[in-house]
Copies of this chain bind each other. A is one copy, B any other.
């Protein structure tokens, strides 16, 4: 890749720092005007929950995406950047909906919600991973969190729908937002795949760090904003059981759907988590342990099937390239979560929940995500935002200084031997 400083190049020397610093200054000014410490409701009891969610956002999402052989720096590094920006922006945008005397009072609960808001962007990031620049991702973060905060307000405050683990407002929203962006950024040049779009042995192990920390702390994610007492305890137990069940079915269907009868790391890294997504909307409801396990079992199957049959067709038919398969981990299980909450409402597990409003919440989350994602996609598709050319996709070295791997000793030795041999023979000739 030629390094040029032209306006349309991938070189970030000027545009990236200017944008990042500008955003930070704007945020600090807004914090100066609006944000003060919470002084009454400390909720320090939530601090362990917060820390679990915090690990999911930065280690979980970050490492989950390191499966690509040459894209680990971006996965874990730009994940950190997006989340660090997003949590500041999230505190403001979520806070604007709950201001008292023009002040946003920030405590542990706000930090949990701010971390949640970054999850939405990180899910969308997974859809377009490898084909976008950090500059594009900063812009996407700002717009997506803004739209997310509006949809969340609509779902929770206006529709009064239940979505304690955010199957609809975070997972389905983030997935369909990201897929809409991916549709706009479609690259025909990558329709046959790309040599960098795959894993190596150790990159798959790094990704499992992400998978496991997501898997482990998902009960905290789904219970963090649940009502104390029985509802919070149910959210923990239901998520724990749903994940366990989805792990069993994901393993089973990974083997079943593979003609050679082997496990596929993509499924294990992702579909084992589908149970956590799908149980989200009704995690705190009295769906019985049994109910959680059925939801989880179905989610694991749906997710593996999505990877196997849907992702290739999304790319070929709908022209939606989905690098991490977020549709299978967040989109489908998110819809499943919404449906489960509709059924739970219809079955009257809780009389305050309405099946119609749950359906409305699911519909508007997906609808707003698709429209918002398409518009955001159009914006970040502007040619001067540093998108990598097709041949440099899925390659950290466009945006990062990457260490040159040294030739191993044996190979080096061999190389010299061949060189010697070749020169000898060229002499002979």
User: Which residues A26-47 have CB closer than 8 A to chain B?
Assistant: 27-28, 31-32, 35-39, 42, 44, 47
Partner of A21, one of B13, B202, B252, B294: B252
Partner of A17, one of B252, B265, B403: B252
Chain B nearest CB: distance from A191 CB in Å?
A: 22
Alpha-carbon distance A265/B81, docked complex (angstroms): 13
Chain B nearest CB: distance from A309 CB in Å?
A: 17
Interface residue A422 (Cβ < 8 Å from any Cβ of B): yes
Interface residue A349 (Cβ < 8 Å from any Cβ of B): no
Interface residue A139 (Cβ < 8 Å from any Cβ of B): no
Residues of B within 8 A of A85 (CB): 244, 248
Alpha-carbon distance A220/B108, docked complex (angstroms): 12
Interface residue A177 (Cβ < 8 Å from any Cβ of B): no
**Do residues A59 and B21 form an inter-chain contact, with CB atoms below 8 A?**
no
Identify the stretch in A120-128, A229-237, A354-362 within 8 Å (CB) of chain B at 4 or more residues.
Answer: A229-237
Contact A244/B84 with A233-B108, A410-B415 known, Cβ cut-off 8 Å: yes
Contact A199/B403 with A37-B233, A44-B233, A216-B59 known, Cβ cut-off 8 Å: yes
**Do residues B232 and A44 form an inter-chain contact, with CB atoms below 8 A?**
yes
Residues of B within 8 A of A262 (CB): 12, 399-401
Residues of B within 8 A of A143 (CB): none
**Do residues A59 and B212 form an inter-chain contact, with CB atoms below 8 A?**
yes
Chain B nearest CB: distance from A84 CB in Å?
A: 4
- Please list the residues of chain A having a beta carbon within 8 angstroms of any beta carbon in chain B: 3, 5, 11-14, 16-17, 20-21, 23-24, 27-28, 31-32, 35-39, 42, 44, 47-48, 51-52, 54-55, 58-59, 62-63, 66, 69-70, 72-73, 76-77, 80-81, 84-85, 87-88, 106-108, 111, 134, 198-202, 204-206, 208-209, 212-213, 215-217, 220, 229-230, 232-234, 236-237, 240-241, 243-245, 247-249, 251-253, 255-256, 258-265, 268, 272, 286, 288-290, 293-294, 297, 399-403, 405-408, 410-411, 414-415, 417-418, 421-422, 425
Q: Can you give 14 contacting A-B residue pairs, CB < 8 Å?
A: A3-B261, A12-B262, A13-B256, A37-B230, A37-B234, A66-B205, A73-B268, A87-B244, A106-B289, A202-B202, A265-B403, A407-B410, A408-B411, A411-B411
Which 3 A-B pairs rank lowest in CB-CB distance, beginning with the nearest?
A: A13-B261, A84-B247, A17-B252
